[in-house]
Amino acid sequence: MKSLRNNYFFKRITYCLLVFVISMSITFAVLHLMPGNYIQSLLPYLADINPEFSELFKAKFGLDRPIIEQYLMYLSNILQGNWGYSFQYGAPVLDVITEKLVWTLIIILPATILSVLAGIAIGAYSGWKNGSNTDICLLNTMVFVGAVPSYWWAIMAILVFSYSLGLFPLGGFVSLDALFSGINPIDVLHHALLPILVLTLSSIPGTYYFMRNSMLMTLGEGYILTARAKGVQERDILRHHALKNAMLPMITIVSLQCAHMITGSIFIETIFSWPGMGLLTFDALSARDLPLLEGIFLMDTLVVIAANFVADILYGVADPRVRVGSHG
Amino acid sequence: MAWQILASGWDLMDREIFFRAGLAIIGSAMLIAIFAPFLTAYAPDEFCGMPLSEPSSDHLLGTNDLGQDIFSRLIYGTRATLIIGFLGALIGVATGTLIGTVAGYYGGRTDEVISRFMDVMMTIPAFPLLLVLSVLLSPGIYVISLLMGLLGGSHSGRVIRSQVLSIAETNHILGSRALGLSDAYIMARHILPNIMPLITVKYVFSAQAFMLMGVGLGFLGIGDVSVIDWGQMINHAYSSGAFALGMWWWIGPPGLAVTVLSIGLAMIGFGLEERLNPRLSHRNVEATA
Amino acid sequence: MSDGLRIRGLEVTFMNGQEKVRAVNSVDLCIHSGEKLGLIGETGCGKTILGMAIMRLLNPDTLIRGQITCNGTSITSISEEEMRQMRGREIAMIIQQSLTSLNPVITVGRQIAEAVELHQGLSGREARAEVIRLLSEVGIPDPEIRLDCYPHEFSGGMNERVMIAMALAGNPSFLIADEPTTGLDTTVKNRIISLLKDISHERSMLFITHDLAAAAEICDRIAVMYCGEIVECATTEDIFRAPLHPYTQGLLASMPQRGLRPIRGTGPSLAAVPPGCRFCNRCRESRDCCTTEHPELREKRKGHYVRCFLYD
- Which of C149, C171, C193 is the C-terminal boundary of a domain? C171
Q: Quick check: helix, strand or coil at residue C225? A: strand
**Chain A positions in Cβ-Cβ contact with residue C118 (cut-off 8 Å):** 230-232
Closest CA of chain B from A201, distance in Å = 15
CB atoms near residue C310 (< 10 Å): 15
**Chain C positions in Cβ-Cβ contact with residue A235 (cut-off 8 Å):** none
Q: Using the beta-carbon criterion (under 8 Å), do A151 and B131 form an inter-chain contact?
A: no
Q: Which of A131, A259, A308 sits opposite B283 (nearest CB)?
A: A131
Q: Which of C89, C95, C115 sits opposite A225 (nearest CB)?
A: C95
Which of B115, B116, B135 to probe the A interface (max A CBs under 10 A)?
B135
Which of C49, C95, C105, C146 to probe the A interface (max A CBs under 10 A)?
C105
Backbone dihedral angles phi then psi of residue C101, each to the nearest 5 degrees: -95, 5
Domain that holds residue C145: 97-171
Q: Using the beta-carbon criterion (under 8 Å), do B289 and C100 form an inter-chain contact?
A: yes
User: Could you give the CA distance from residue C53 to residue C61 in angstroms, rounded to a whole number?
Assistant: 12
Q: Using the beta-carbon criterion (under 8 Å), do B282 and A304 form an inter-chain contact?
A: no
Q: What is the pLDDT along chain C (312 residues), one digit of tens a residue?
A: 457 899 999 999 988 777 788 889 889 999 998 899 999 998 888 899 999 999 999 988 888 999 999 988 899 889 999 999 999 999 999 998 888 899 999 999 999 999 999 999 888 899 999 999 999 999 999 999 998 999 999 998 999 999 999 999 999 999 999 999 888 888 999 999 999 999 988 899 999 998 888 999 999 999 999 989 999 999 999 999 989 998 999 889 888 888 888 888 888 888 788 888 888 888 888 788 788 888 888 888 888 999 888 887
CB atoms near residue B278 (< 10 Å): 11
Q: Is C184 in the same domain as C227?
A: yes
Q: Is C148 in the same domain as C163?
A: yes
Q: Using the beta-carbon criterion (under 8 Å), do A229 and C163 form an inter-chain contact?
A: no
Give the nearest chain A residue to B269 (CA atoms): A143
* Chains interfacing with C (3 or more CB pairs < 8 Å): A, B
Q: Is C210 in the same domain as C233?
A: yes
User: Could you give the CA distance from residue C167 to residue C227 in angstroms, rounded to a whole number?
Assistant: 28
User: Could you give the CA distance from residue B231 to residue B211 in angstroms, rounded to a whole number?
Assistant: 10
| Sequence-distant (≥ 6) Cβ neighbours of residue A301 within 8 angstroms | A19, A20, A23, B123, B124, B125, B128
Q: Does B286 touch chain C (CB under 8 A)?
A: yes
Q: Is C218 in the same domain as C307?
A: yes
Residue A87 has pLDDT above 80, yes or no: no
Taking the model in full, what pTM does it have? 0.86
**C131 in Cβ contact with C116 (< 8 Å):** yes
Q: Quick check: helix, strand or coil at residue A112? A: helix
> ipTM of this model?
0.88
Q: What is the pLDDT of residue B10?
A: 52
- Which of C171, C188, C221 is the C-terminal boundary of a domain? C171
CATH of the domain at C240: 3.40.50.300
Q: Using the beta-carbon criterion (under 8 Å), do C104 and A233 form an inter-chain contact?
A: no
Is B9 inside a domain boundary?
Answer: no
Q: Is C203 in the same domain as C299?
A: yes
Strands of chain C (E only): list them. 5-16, 19-31, 36-40, 63-70, 73-74, 91-94, 174-178, 204-209, 221-226, 229-235, 298-301, 304-306
Q: Is C146 in the same domain as C202?
A: no
The bridge status of strand C174-178 relative to strand C221-226 is: unpaired
Q: Which of B11, B127, B238 sits opposite A264 (nearest CB)?
A: B127
Q: Is C188 in the same domain as C198?
A: yes
User: Could you give the CA distance from residue A242 to residue A233 in angstroms, rounded to a whole number?
Assistant: 12
- pLDDT tens per residue across span B117-127: 998 888 889 89
Q: C142 vs C137, C139, C312, CA distance in Å?
A: 12, 9, 57
Closest CA of chain A from C222, distance in Å = 24
The average pLDDT across B267-271 equals 88
CB atoms near residue C14 (< 10 Å): 19
Q: Is C120 in the same domain as C250?
A: no
Closest CA of chain B from C256, distance in Å = 30
Q: Does C100 touch chain B (CB under 8 A)?
A: yes
Give the nearest chain B residue to A260 (CA atoms): B125
**Chain B positions in Cβ-Cβ contact with residue C61 (cut-off 8 Å):** 285
Q: Which of C95, C102, C153 sits opposite A327 (nearest CB)?
A: C153
Is B5 inside a domain boundary?
Answer: no
User: Could you give the CA distance from residue B86 to residue B91 in angstroms, rounded to a whole number?
Assistant: 9
CATH of the domain at B250: 1.10.3720.10
User: Could you give the CA distance from residue A190 to residue A175 in angstroms, rounded to a whole number?
Assistant: 10
**A181 in Cβ contact with A96 (< 8 Å):** no
**B48 in Cβ contact with B68 (< 8 Å):** yes
CB atoms near residue C6 (< 10 Å): 18
CB atoms near residue B153 (< 10 Å): 24
Closest CA of chain A from B158, distance in Å = 16
Domain that holds residue B242: 25-275
CB atoms near residue C176 (< 10 Å): 26
Q: Is C121 in the same domain as C238?
A: no
| Terminal Cα distance for chain C, rounded | 37
Q: What is the pLDDT of residue C300?
A: 85
- Which of C142, C171, C200 is the C-terminal boundary of a domain? C171
Residue B282 has pLDDT above 50, yes or no: no
Is B13 inside a domain boundary?
Answer: no
Q: Is C48 in the same domain as C67?
A: yes
Is B233 inside a domain boundary?
Answer: yes
* Chains interfacing with B (3 or more CB pairs < 8 Å): A, C
The average pLDDT across A101-108 equals 90
Domains of chain B: total: 1
From the list C45, C95, C53, the residue with the least C-alpha distance to C70 is C53
Q: Is C206 in the same domain as C302?
A: yes
Give the nearest chain B residue to A135 (CA atoms): B282
| Residues, chain A | 328
Q: Using the beta-carbon criterion (under 8 Å), do C59 and B285 form an inter-chain contact?
A: yes
| Sequence-distant (≥ 6) Cβ neighbours of residue B210 within 8 angstroms | B84, B85, B88, B89, B92, B145, B148, B149, B152
Q: Is C195 in the same domain as C286?
A: yes
Q: Please give the mean pLDDT across all residues of chain A.
A: 84
Is B88 inside a domain boundary?
Answer: yes
Is B203 inside a domain boundary?
Answer: yes
Is B11 inside a domain boundary?
Answer: no
Is B173 inside a domain boundary?
Answer: yes
Q: Using the beta-carbon criterion (under 8 Å), do A226 and C163 form an inter-chain contact?
A: yes
Domains of chain C: total: 2
Q: Which of A226, A240, A320 sits opposite C101 (nearest CB)?
A: A226
